[in-house]
Amino acid sequence: MAGATDLDTLLRDMEPVLRDGEYVFVVHLDPPASDGPDPAGPGGPGLPAEALVREDEGLTLVLRREVADARGLPYDFVAAWITLQVHSSLAAVGLTAAFAGALADAGISCNTVAGYHHDHLLVPVGDRDAALAVLRGLSRSGRVSASRDGGGTRTAARRSSSAGT
């Protein structure tokens, strides 16, 4: 089933939910080849990754903090994981910009992971409650507060689902 693409619908229905636990980014410097074994299985680092990204510099894994701690793996960012429950299309335009802008306006860092069904946000663990409040406010109001006009000036824009109002 295809996800939603309408920004008004995505904002209204995004329903941010905080996952339990704390999460960290670690780097495995000797990843298997891109067509090799599962990084969490034999031949990989053997870590139960919540998410992974293969980069030229190594394999970035998002792990539960307790997994990294138990294995003595270094990290420098501890995050809370927020999932937007709306089923967003991978072709949807504007959702990432809307939530990233709202969080940036509040001074909250945000790293994102897109799954097929949902967007996932990793925010500093100390900002989790503030991030949830910002996202819920964005969902209630439909406001895109960090849009830019053609001249690059920050403007406040009101999203409206009815034309001419």
Q: Report the alpha-carbon distance of residue 101 to residue 86 in Å, rounded.
A: 18
Q: Report the alpha-carbon distance of residue 69 to residue 4 in Å, rounded.
A: 38
Name the band, by pLDDT with cuts 50, 70 and 90, for residue 162. Answer: very low
The pLDDT mean for the chain works out to 81
Comparing CA positions, the residue from 95, 121, 132 lying closest to residue 9 is: 95
C-alpha dist (Å) from residue 68 to 63, 104, 118: 7, 28, 25
Residues 33-84 pLDDT 10s = 555 545 554 345 678 899 999 888 888 999 999 999 999 999 999 999 999 9
**Domains within the chain, CATH numbers bracketed:** 7-21+77-148 (3.30.2130.10), 23-70 (no CATH)
Q: Span 17-41, mean pLDDT?
A: 74
Q: What pLDDT shows up at residue 101?
A: 94
